[in-house]
A = this chain, B = another copy of it.
């Protein structure tokens, strides 16, 4: 066990500001979607992915990876979306273990109805507050972090020797 690399006061301020900003931002987005369309943001993202795929169909595993959601969480989510008639499950023709999630017409319509309000909320909450350079920075930093975390995610670090 090595010495803890504590955060400097500056790093700590940054980390806390980050947590605060993100909580406020995502709470706002999620609340708007639930309030106006009855969809949690996590479900909205699933619907979006499906809607953008040719055939509006994706395998569970692909959908899970794309949305960065655990298999379990996705399975539960798809079950709820099926109950609303927005998604339907089909057997995968090439792999009998597989399941396909298919966006229904009702699901597509629900998404289309929710989109304008959601986009407006994102714009107001995020983009309206930042200038072009800051938006650029945020994009760069987000991409670096996403790559970094995709690569190192769940790893324990190099062995001691």
> What is the interface of chain A, defined by CB distance below 8 A to chain B?
4-7, 10-11, 13-15, 17-28, 45, 68, 115-116, 119-120, 122-130, 134-135, 137-146, 148-150, 152-154, 157
- The interface residues of chain B lying within 8 Å CB-to-CB of A128 are 148
**Contact (Cβ within 8 A) B119 A24:** no
Beta-carbon nearest neighbor of A14 in chain B: B139
Given contacts A10-B139, A123-B7, A126-B15, contact A146 B24 (CB under 8 A): yes
Instruction: Given the known inter-chain contacts A4-B120, A146-B20, please indicate yes or no for A11 contacting B68, CB distance below 8 A.
Output: no
For the complex, would chain A's binding face be called helix, strand, loop or mixed by DSSP majority?
Answer: helix
Report the nearest B residue to A143, measured CB to CB.
Answer: B17
Chain B residues, Cβ within 8 Å of A6? 119
Complex alpha-carbon distance, A4 and B113, angstroms: 12
Asked if residues A124 and B20 are in contact (CB atoms below 8 Å), the reply is no
Contacts of A4 in B (CB 8 A): 115-116, 119-120
Chain B residues positioned under 8 Å from A20 (CB to CB): 68, 142, 146
- CB of B11 within 8 A of CB of A135, answer yes
Minimum C-beta distance from A12 to chain B (A): 9
Contact B142 A21 (CB under 8 A): yes
Chain B residues whose C-beta falls within 8 Å of the C-beta of A144 in the assembled complex: 129-130, 134
CA distance A128 to B145 in the complex (A): 10
Residue of B nearest to A11 (CB): B127
Closest chain B CB from A151 CB (angstroms): 9
